[in-house]
Amino acid sequence: MKRQIIKIDEDKCNGCGQCITGCHEGALQLIDGKARLISDLFCDGLGACIGTCPVEAITIEEREAEPYNERIVIENIARQGVNTVKAHLHHLKSHGEMNFYNQALDYLKEAGYDMCQFKEDEAPGCGCGGGNPKTISKAPAHSEAGNLSTELRQWPVQLHLINPMAAYFDNAELLISADCVPYAYADFHRRFLKNKIVITLCPKLDRDIDRYVEKLAAIFSNHTIKSVNIVRMEVPCCGGTEMIVQKALEQAGKMHFVKINIVSIDGDII
């Protein structure tokens, strides 16, 4: 069949490989110092790789080519992790390729993937119920400011910024908290943070979750950790906090009893 597909000008191609990272579908490889289209089946012809080429060696042409196969492509992409799948789905949707987009979602569902990882921003009711508006009505709590004190023992607290080699992790009682918890649970400092070293993250909105796993694994590998505590929100997407910690422990080759506390949107411990 005739369809649009990329064309690489070998004379212009300098072998930089930037187009390889721009093609989530895996249609391109660097061979003998040049970018090569390795399979018509993998190339969707939408040209995401064009913008990554610094020498304008990639164009779109119409020629006889095997039909693009989304199911083969998404099966390959799914092995590359959640963020790559998200980028691919966004790529299809932004180009109006809803048929391929829906094929990809069908495959992911059939293969048993948690669809909330991929659809929570597009599909109401999928995944994180925390995005649903809600008014919380509670009687205000009264306390004297003089009786309050911080239990924070280190800085920074956000996993993006934390140095996994920091000395304060030695013999630490570790608290891994989802970002929203201190806002929902009024007694966070006294109930959860006291005598703990805290790490905060958001498994839904933070990027580069694989890097989070690596950082936590480095902490577990390089320090004696006395205890591991997780506190997260009740919304389903926040359950990714547990997955990140579990993967980090596996990567570090460590076994820990992990205590998990779940806080409701109303501010109660479930």
Contacts of 161 (CB under 8 A, 6+ apart): none
Same domain, 181 and 243: yes
CATH number for position 61: 3.30.70.20
pLDDT band at 111 (very low <50, low <70, confident <90, very high): confident
What range defines the domain where residue 41 resides? 1-67
* Residue 242: inside a domain: yes
Same domain, 82 and 174: no
Q: Is 149 exposed, middle or buried (0-12, 13-18, 19+ CB in 10 A)?
A: exposed
* Residue 135: inside a domain: no
Same domain, 122 and 81: yes
Same domain, 61 and 90: no
Provide the pLDDT for residue 135: 55
Same domain, 9 and 84: no
Same domain, 175 and 109: no
* Residue 48: inside a domain: yes
pLDDT (mean) for 249-268: 92
Least reliable range by pLDDT among 109-113, 139-143, 209-213, 248-252: 139-143
**Higher-confidence position of 88 and 16:** 16
Same domain, 160 and 257: yes
Same domain, 36 and 79: no
Q: What is the percent of the chain with per-residue pLDDT over 70, rounded to a whole number?
A: 89
Same domain, 95 and 14: no
Q: Using one digit for the tens of pLDDT, what is the confidence trace for 150-174?
A: 899 999 999 989 999 999 999 999 9
Same domain, 43 and 83: no
Whole-number CA gyration radius for the chain: 23
Same domain, 165 and 242: yes
Q: Torsion angle of alpha carbons 150, 155, 158, 160, nearest 10°?
A: 180
Model pTM above 0.85: no
Provide the pLDDT for residue 79: 80
Q: Using one digit for the tens of pLDDT, what is the confidence trace for 122-136?
A: 444 454 555 555 555
Q: How is residue 63 written in tokens? A: 């020629």
**Higher-confidence position of 74 and 82:** 74
Q: What Å distances lie between residue 77 and 28, 87, 97, 102, 176, CA to CA?
A: 13, 10, 17, 15, 30
Q: Which residues of 203-236 are buried (b: 16+ CB within 10 A; e: fewer)?
A: bbebeebeebbbbbbbbbeebebeebbbbbbbbb
* Residue 82: inside a domain: yes
Q: Using one digit for the tens of pLDDT, what is the confidence trace for 206-238?
A: 877 888 999 999 999 999 999 999 999 988 878
Helix, strand or coil for residue 246? helix
Q: What is the percent of the chain with per-residue pLDDT over 90, rounded to a whole number?
A: 41
pLDDT band at 183 (very low <50, low <70, confident <90, very high): very high
Provide the pLDDT for residue 121: 47
What is the spatial distance between Cα 95 and Cα 98, in angstroms, rounded to a whole number?
8
Whether residue 239 is predicted with pLDDT greater than 90 in this model: the reply is no
Whether residue 9 is predicted with pLDDT greater than 90 in this model: the reply is yes
Q: Using one digit for the tens of pLDDT, what is the confidence trace for 24-67?
A: 788 888 888 899 988 888 898 888 888 889 999 999 999 998 88
Same domain, 161 and 253: yes
Question: How many domains in the chain?
Answer: 3
pLDDT band at 144 (very low <50, low <70, confident <90, very high): low
Last residue of a domain, one of 82, 111, 127: 127
pLDDT band at 120 (very low <50, low <70, confident <90, very high): very low
**Higher-confidence position of 65 and 143:** 65
Last residue of a domain, one of 21, 41, 67: 67
CATH number for position 247: 3.40.50
